[in-house]
Amino acid sequence: MNIRILKDKIAGRTMLVLTLVSILLAVLVAWGLFYRSLPLLENYSLTDLLTSSAWKPEKGEFGFLGFIMGTLWVTAIAIILALPLCLLVSIYLSEYAHPRLRKLIVPVVDLLSGIPPVLFGVWGVLFIIPLIQDHIAPSFVDNSAGYSVLAGGIVLAIMIFPLLITLFLEVFSTVPRDMLNASLSLGATPWQTVKKVLLKKAMPGMIASTVLAISRAFGETIAVLMVCGGNVPGIPHSVFDSGYPLPVLIANNFGETFSVPLYDSALLFAALLLFVIIFIFNAVSRIILARVKRKIE
């Protein structure tokens, strides 16, 4: 056999193995986390873990509800703030803005996506916290230190701007121009066309994009840790309460308190929880997005 062909074959096999192994990484991560959470899962029922908010590891109480609620609050605030904004910006960029303006805005969105989480945290501490403490909170509650789920939500919202805008633009670009033109030629205004045709046609892709953004917000750790002020686990009751989301739980305690029995197992269970939820969200929305794109080709 020709040496070139042999080289080609060997390289191919090697790369195939590498591809398969690397894909198995996901399985490995899931299995690793699951294996380490097993001790906890063997001692407590899943429902108890997820529905109790009592968190006293020294006494053997592991209730995750407070952390789950913290995550949900922060994520909900972030999505409520970011979704309408990003939707409007994406519509503006794809339907209204002059190409030259688009070429100015899109790179800024790109640069925003390159800013590391810790810098968002620093900015949150410097800007958002005082803003909430001195200007927003006083009109609603008696005293707030500023460190709150609201601060986390605002910072997270900005962090997911780039993701949402990029995905929305991609989804919008799959709607055929001629379909929009058909609506325009009937005398519809651009906004009517956006409302009745563009958004309608893009709906599945937009939902998938939003789910993707939600899962991004779920997992964000350091920025949220810096501005949410969560030191004591508990369920937040207002946007000015401090929050203690799941990723912060892991970041704050991992690697230190392993002398408490089952503590490490509990933290890895938190990681597993994040992994599973985000994995499912991502898989579902990526499949929908891939479908949406394939229809166009």
Contact set for another protein, span 170-209 (CB under 8 A): 170, 173, 176, 178-192, 196-197, 200-201
Give the tokens for residue 269: 């269970």
Minimum CB–partner distance for residue 141 and another protein (Å): 25
CA torsion 246→234→125→119, rounded to 10°? 0
What is the smallest separation between the CB atom of 240 and another protein, expressed in angstroms?
22
* Closest approach of another protein to the CB of residue 31, in Å: 10
Find out whether 124 and 42 touch, Cβ atoms under 8 Å. no
Please pick, from the candidates 69, 129, 136, 274, the single residue that binds another protein as defined by CB under 8 A.
274
**Closest distance to another protein from the beta carbon of 78 (Å):** 13
Any contact of residue 145 with another protein (CB under 8 A)?
no
Q: Where is 183: in which H helix or E strand?
A: helix 177-185
- Bridge partners (DSSP) of residue 55 are 62
Q: Which stretch binds another protein (CB under 8 A): 57-65, 70-78, 132-140, 286-294?
A: 286-294
At closest approach, how far in Å is the CB of 150 from another protein? Answer: 16
Cα distance between residue 211 and residue 282, in whole Å:
7
119 binds another protein (CB under 8 A): yes
The length of the chain, given as a count of residues: 297
Cβ within 8 Å of residue 74, ≥6 positions away = 149, 152, 153, 156, 217, 224, 228, 243, 245
For residue 270, give every residue at least 6 positions away whose Cβ sits within 8 Å of its Cβ, in sequence order, or none. 64, 67, 246, 249, 250
* Binding residue count for another protein, defined by CB under 8 A: 108
d(CA 152, CA 124): 8
DSSP string, 28-77: HHHHHHHHHHHHHHHHS-HHHHHH---EEGGGTEE--HHHHHHHHHHHHH
Letters for 79-118 (x = contact with another protein by CB under 8 A, - = none) are: -----xxx-xx-xxx-xxxxx--x--xxxxxxxx-xxxxx
Give bridge partners of residue 62 from the DSSP assignment: 55
C-alpha–C-alpha distance, residues 172 and 174, integer Å:
5
Q: Taking CB under 8 A as the criterion, which residues in 5-24 touch another protein? A: 5, 7-8, 11-12, 14-16, 18-19, 22-23
Positions 239 through 258 that interact with another protein (CB under 8 A): 247, 250-251, 254-255
- Considering only residues 28 to 57 of the shown chain, the ones binding another protein according to CB under 8 A are 29, 32-33, 36
What is the contact mask toward another protein in residues 57 to 76, using x (rule: CB under 8 A)?
Answer: --------------------
Q: Would you count residue 130 as binding another protein (CB under 8 A)? A: no
Q: Which of 40, 129, 137, 226 binds another protein (CB under 8 A)?
A: 226
25 lies in the binding site for another protein (CB under 8 A): yes
